[in-house]
Amino acid sequence: MSSRNVVALYCVASVATVGCAAEPARSSAASGAAVTDSFAARRLAMVEHQIEARGIKATSVLRAMSKVPRHRFVLPATVGQAYEDHPLPIGSEQTISQPYIVAYMTEAAGISPRDKVLEIGTGSGYQAAVLGEVAREVYTIEIIPELAEGARNVLADLGYKNVHVKAGNGYLGWPEQAPFDAIIVTAAPDQVPQALVDQLAVGGRMVVPVGAVIQDMMIIERTQRGVVERKTIPVRFVPMTGKPEQQ
């Protein structure tokens, strides 16, 4: 965090985001990554000192952050920094998010193993992989085709059969797969996109940074009586662009 207590984040998503059941199905390659790769000790240290120490308590989230190989989602030149407490470039003028923010948003969404989740802003695919560890199905949208394809390839290589990547306009959501039990938005719109609210299931929760110069993380819950919004922490995300003329 900065001296103004703003969480530093350069979003894993594109700057132009226009685009207790059994464990989710995935290959043994992904499941065993945390204990077989040479970065396991660094990853566990990341979870202990950057995430758990800052108050993240959900066992499923801590387990996912301990398992997902973040170094697979960064550029070769920055692999040695993969588990440090800051974002890293991933190409196309985008970055992979600070690990704490990935954990914070995942926990705030309150995801269970039964849930179907929508992510707006795939970026490198790292947040999608973490979601894939805690949810039944994940649908993720990225506007930059090159990033979408790269994330799709890495996720497939790691065996995440329950994560589905699409290049497209995040403002529109993924109506063919709605409703979603949780929605995570990794770029900041000036207002919450109504299409995403409409695609949130009753009882579902959306986690989204909202604002231009000043941004707040918002948690939006859809109840039987309507939509309830609350602010949590101040944040700094890249803007969510590609807003349709009429939502």
Q: Which of 27, 97, 112, 124 is catalytic?
A: 97
* DSSP 8-state class, residue 111: -
Give CA–CA dist 158/140, Å, rounded.
16
- Is 11 within 8 Å of 187 (Cβ atoms)? yes
Beta strands in the chain (DSSP E): 7-8, 88-91, 94-96, 116-120, 137-142, 163-167, 180-185, 200-210, 215-223, 226-236
Give CA–CA dist 25/137, Å, rounded.
9
For residue 112, indicate whether it is catalytic.
no
Give CA–CA dist 60/134, Å, rounded.
6
Q: Which residue numbers are catalytic? A: 97
